[in-house]
Amino acid sequence: MKQLFVTEVRDFEKNTMGKVEAREVSMPEPADDEVRVKVIYSSICGSDTHTLTGHLGEFEAMTKAMLPMPFGHEVSGVIDKVGPKAEALGYHVGDKVVINYAKYCYACDNCRSGHENLCNYVQFCMNGFAEYACYHVQQVFKLPESYDLETACLIEPLTIALSAAEKAKISFGKSVAIMGAGGLGLMLVQLARQAGASCVTVFDLVEDKLELAKKLGADYGFDPREEGVVEKAIAAAGGKYDCVLEGTGAVSAAETALQLLARDGDGVYFAMYGKDPILKVNLHNDFYWDQKHLHGLIMGSGMFPKAVKMARRLDLKSIIQKVHPLSNYEQAFADLYTKKYAKVVIKMDE
């Protein structure tokens, strides 16, 4: 079977982007408690982009040591083979499924008190850009028969968006500001709407993405580089924002987020940030007087079942702006590098 590998990361000195290569590998076999999934769609995540186009910082040496490195973790597919223990738990050949690439131990205190995202022994199974992949049954989530597999590959990032939306305590009548109109930002726009937000404002550098955000339910869109943009965004909403979500990974966006946040508001920071990314919080103004709440977030926990239910109530189709067959994977990554598309997806089963 075919599988994609990262063979080179970005080289800033040579001024080259990362490279991806399709290779022929042997078919994996599921263990007793595993299922083998025939992958149908696999989506490119922002973190993949980062690996291929960004500064890896302290992770550079480690990443290079892993080359050629399998990757891919936003996956939908169909069960193709199933171990007996997995079958006993109700998983059968032919079931449509999505995957949690994080394999939790369920034997540490974090896992067993509702915080799997902080699992002490978590393993990340990054093998989703392959025609077939095996996963422990505890990582597999069944979809209803009628489910659309193309949009289903966005269920994994949707779990993050759901987790961020919940931490931000979006609810009836609250105003919401979202930094970034990429895949997660465009999901958040829709989730904010479906959580009862009275006003949704989005920030992005790309005009087209702001337009798409508005089509998907945002009331206002702003380019963060615009002069006086914080004041304008506050005026548009009739006041500072009750909920602010920052997932861009830019420190400037993190600062803007803090400025936008209302008294007693909840700000959620769920991005990975580069080296030494410092946010300066004013203890008197932000904490004492304004009583702000700032929440970190690393992925999600317990979100897959609800993500499976919610994916069908969102317009994920509009977020997927390019779909390429596996044979055309080079174009998929070329498209990615343009940064023009919210989500680029590869159809794995030609």
Binding to a copy of itself, residues 176-215 (CB under 8 A): 191, 193-196, 198
- Choose which of 65, 173, 228, 338 interacts with a copy of itself (CB under 8 A): 173
Q: Given the rule CB under 8 A, which of 4-12, 179-187, 203-211, 294-302 is the region that contacts a copy of itself?
A: 294-302
Asked if 105 interacts with a copy of itself (CB under 8 A), we say yes
- CB-based contact 232:239 (threshold 8 Å): no
Asked if 295 interacts with a copy of itself (CB under 8 A), we say yes
Q: Given the rule CB under 8 A, which of 7-15, 37-45, 104-112, 317-325 is the region that contacts a copy of itself?
A: 104-112
Show the site string, 110-129: x = touches a copy of itself by CB under 8 A, - = not: --xxxx-xx-xx--------
Q: Quick one: tokens of 345?
A: 């997806």
Asked if 251 interacts with a copy of itself (CB under 8 A), we say yes
Asked if 23 interacts with a copy of itself (CB under 8 A), we say no
Q: Given the rule CB under 8 A, which of 1-9, 46-54, 201-209, 267-275 is the region that contacts a copy of itself?
A: 267-275
Asked if 296 interacts with a copy of itself (CB under 8 A), we say yes
Asked if 92 interacts with a copy of itself (CB under 8 A), we say no
- CB-based contact 41:75 (threshold 8 Å): yes
Q: 269: which strand partners?
A: 246, 296
Asked if 297 interacts with a copy of itself (CB under 8 A), we say yes
Closest CA to 265 of 249, 247, 287, 248: 287
CB count within 10 Å of CB 130 equals 27
Q: Given the rule CB under 8 A, which of 44-52, 63-71, 132-140, 320-328 is the region that contacts a copy of itself?
A: 132-140
Total residues interacting with a copy of itself, rule: CB under 8 A: 83
Burial tier of 245 (Cβ tally within 10 Å: 0-12, 13-18, 19+): buried
- Choose which of 8, 148, 211, 290 interacts with a copy of itself (CB under 8 A): 290
Concatenated DSSP letters of 226-239: STTHHHHHHHHHTS
CA pair distance 275, 266, nearest whole angstrom? 25
Closest CA to 175 of 148, 211, 201, 155: 201
CA pair distance 175, 210, nearest whole angstrom? 18
- Choose which of 6, 125, 162, 243 interacts with a copy of itself (CB under 8 A): 162
| Shortest CB 34 distance to a copy of itself, Å | 11
Asked if 156 interacts with a copy of itself (CB under 8 A), we say no
Q: Contacts with a copy of itself in 215-234 (CB under 8 A)?
A: none
Asked if 140 interacts with a copy of itself (CB under 8 A), we say yes
CA pair distance 264, 169, nearest whole angstrom? 11
CA pair distance 215, 312, nearest whole angstrom? 17
Distance of CA 29 to the CA centre of its chain: 28
Distances (CA, A) of 76 to 209, 278, 350: 25, 37, 15
Q: Contacts with a copy of itself in 49-88 (CB under 8 A)?
A: 86, 88
